Amino acid sequence: MPATSETNGAAPIDVRNVTKRYGDLVAVKDLTFSLEPGTITGFLGPNGSGKSTTLRMVGGLLRPTAGEVKLFGITARDPQARRSLGYMPADPAFLPHLSGLDNLDLLARLRGGADEAMRRTAADALDLSGHDLDRRVGGYSSGMRQKLAILAAVQHRPALVVLDEPANRLDPIAHRSFCELIRGMATDRHTVFLSSHVLAEVEAVCDSVLLVREGALLKAATVAQLREHAPRVVTLTRTDGTTVVQHVPAERPGVLRDLLADPAVADLTVVPASLEDVVLALYTEQAAS
């Protein structure tokens, strides 16, 4: 359970009308959202849509050009706000001549010390052995560095964990363990905010998603809401052996009744569209508009 005295009941992340400009380039455009405690939120968007920039503002690394980012009610640039933050960058870099354990110890000390039980649990889940952690980070593979960065982000049991593309470079086994670890943290009322391109991962672990495009918020919804409104993929097999695949909008269940009324239908399967289909459809709609 994260330390509630540090979280003071305010939203773990509260982003209000945030814009970030680099000269003429607008990386993030008037973005507003907030997260509920104990939820896992996926942050989705194409490359260059401002995901990492937003996460860096949440981590207090970047100053918004306009608007405000608060963690637990305190502006993210204030060190006090980051007392309950665990942060994993998209491309983690460590002191290469030190061991993994020495790097973890250093980062833990800067954050007030590691929670040994949490560190052990996370290391076991990510399959990082004592032998691995005793090796110099300079000799790590990119996947090992990724695991170490995830471990560094959670080892002090922060109330808020921000992960930028955590699934990158993880093998399927490590990825499954990572998803279980994250789900377990949310069960313990930790809030997790993760950006990802792997929509299957988001579908598997997230409660809600924020979709961004060109720096602006496109949609905020729970995964259940997205699924509810997702079109169904209907495969019809007729008596003459031909098959037809149709995407039936969720809001029009009458279409299914009409299809079933057709005497030539020999078989019919209905599968909800995947999150990937939903997200792609949203982006396509937005691009068309």
Partner 1 sequence: MKALVRADLRNRWRSLAALAVGCFVLLIVLSGTYSAYGGAAGFSSAFNGKTPRLFSAFSGSASGDVFSPAHFLAFGFGHPLFLVLSLSVAITSGVAAIATEVETGRSELLFTAPVRPTQILDARVLEWALAQAAVIGGALVGALIGTQLSSDLSAISLAVPVRASLQFCSVAFFVAGVAFAASAQARTRGAAFAATVGVVAGSYVINLVGLLWSPLSFVRWINPFGYYSPTQAAEHLQWGNAAVLVVAGVGLFGWARHAVSRRDLA
Rounded Cα–Cα distance for residues 23 and 15 (Å): 22
For residues 61, 159, 169, 76, the Cα torsion angle rounded to the nearest 10 degrees is -10
Say if strands 85-88 and 160-164 run parallel, antiparallel, or are unpaired.
parallel
Site for partner 1 contains 193 (CB under 8 A): no
- Given 13, 27, 101, 149, the residue binding partner 1 (CB under 8 A): 149
Beta strands in 90-188 (DSSP E): 160-164
DSSP calls for 26-39: EEEEEEEEE--TT-
Total interface residues for partner 1 by CB under 8 A: 33
Rounded Cα–Cα distance for residues 199 and 226 (Å): 13
Site for partner 1 contains 132 (CB under 8 A): no
Q: Among 37-45, 110-118, 184-192, 242-250, which window interacts with partner 1 (CB under 8 A)?
A: 110-118
Site for partner 1 contains 68 (CB under 8 A): no
Site for partner 1 contains 51 (CB under 8 A): no
Rounded Cα–Cα distance for residues 246 and 233 (Å): 6
Question: What tokens appear for 101 in the block?
Answer: 């354990």
Site for partner 1 contains 10 (CB under 8 A): no
Residue in the structure block whose two tokens are 């079109």: 231
Site for partner 1 contains 92 (CB under 8 A): yes
Site for partner 1 contains 275 (CB under 8 A): no
- Given 30, 38, 68, 106, the residue binding partner 1 (CB under 8 A): 106
- List beta partners, residue 194: 42, 163
Contact 237, 266 (CB under 8 A): yes
97 or 257, CB closer to partner 1?
97
91 or 127, CB closer to partner 1?
91
For residues 200, 204, 205, 211, the Cα torsion angle rounded to the nearest 10 degrees is 40
Q: How far is the CB of 38 from partner 1 (least distance, A)?
A: 21
Residues whose CB is less than 8 angstroms from the CB of residue 68 and which lie 6 or more positions away in sequence, other chains included: 14, 15, 16, 17, 18, 75
Site for partner 1 contains 95 (CB under 8 A): yes
- Given 61, 224, 244, 270, the residue binding partner 1 (CB under 8 A): 61
62 or 211, CB closer to partner 1?
62
Rounded Cα–Cα distance for residues 106 and 116 (Å): 14
- Given 9, 25, 47, 79, the residue binding partner 1 (CB under 8 A): 79
Site for partner 1 contains 2 (CB under 8 A): no
Q: How far is the CB of 180 from partner 1 (least distance, A)?
A: 24
Site for partner 1 contains 96 (CB under 8 A): yes
Site for partner 1 contains 62 (CB under 8 A): yes
Site for partner 1 contains 94 (CB under 8 A): yes
Contact 156, 86 (CB under 8 A): yes
Q: How far is the CB of 66 from partner 1 (least distance, A)?
A: 15
Contact 218, 286 (CB under 8 A): yes
In the complex, the residues that contact partner 1 under the rule CB under 8 A are 56, 59-63, 79-83, 85, 87, 89, 91-98, 102-103, 105-107, 109-112, 149, 152
